[in-house]
């Protein structure tokens, strides 16, 4: 049964990349505490076609998250052809009155876009996310994720 589910997941993942979304996944943060030393790594499978791609960094937090924003770094390390790039991104969590801006009930989810990039068929690699907040440990962070899709595909 597990093998069948794994095969089904791979088939769906491959098909979704051809329809615009190449990866949309989140990784749990241990004990809901994101340490400044915790780098989350995401593998980008070989792309089905050339095009402009959008990257969105995501975070899911508990409602009692103590900050209004989170600063993260997204490192891109892709090959065929080689592309190495690093972006710093501010994910706005709350407005000036402290009202949460995300979506969700128990967990609030946020996705913030990075500048679009041109990628090529067959290109693959890894993306790494980590926070650069002055506080070493960010409490109440449940998941951190990444969404890569062809530009204009929602």
Please count the helices (runs of H) and the strands (runs of E) in the chain: 1, 11
Query: For residue range 141-150, what is the model confidence (pLDDT) as tens digits?
Result: 999 999 999 9
**Cα–Cα separations (whole angstroms), residue 29 to 23, 46, 99, 140:** 19, 26, 24, 9
Q: How far apart are the first and last CA of the chain?
A: 32
Residue identified by tokens 């900050």 is 67
Question: What are the start-end ranges of the H helices in 44-114?
Answer: none
The model carries a pTM of 0.81
Strand partners, 115: none
- Mean pLDDT score of the chain: 87
Query: For residue range 34-84, what is the model confidence (pLDDT) as tens digits?
Result: 999 999 999 999 999 999 999 999 999 999 999 999 999 999 999 988 889
């Amino acid at each position: 049964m597990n093998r069948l589910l794994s095969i089904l997941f791979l088939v769906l993942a491959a098909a979704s990349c051809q329809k615009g979304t190449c990866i949309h996944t989140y990784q749990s943060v241990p004990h809901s505490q994101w340490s400044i030393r915790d780098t989350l790594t995401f593998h980008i499978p070989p792309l089905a076609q050339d095009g402009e791609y959008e990257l969105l960094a995501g975070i899911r937090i508990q409602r009692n998250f103590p900050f209004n924003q989170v600063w993260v770094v997204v490192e891109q390390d892709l090959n065929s052809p080689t592309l190495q790039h690093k972006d710093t991104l501010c994910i706005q969590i709350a407005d000036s009155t402290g009202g949460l801006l995300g979506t969700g009930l128990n967990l609030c989810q946020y996705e913030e876009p990075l500048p679009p990039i041109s990628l090529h068929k067959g290109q693959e690699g890894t993306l790494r996310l980590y926070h650069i907040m002055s506080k070493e440990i960010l409490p109440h962070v449940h998941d951190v994720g990444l969404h890569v899709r062809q530009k204009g595909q929602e």
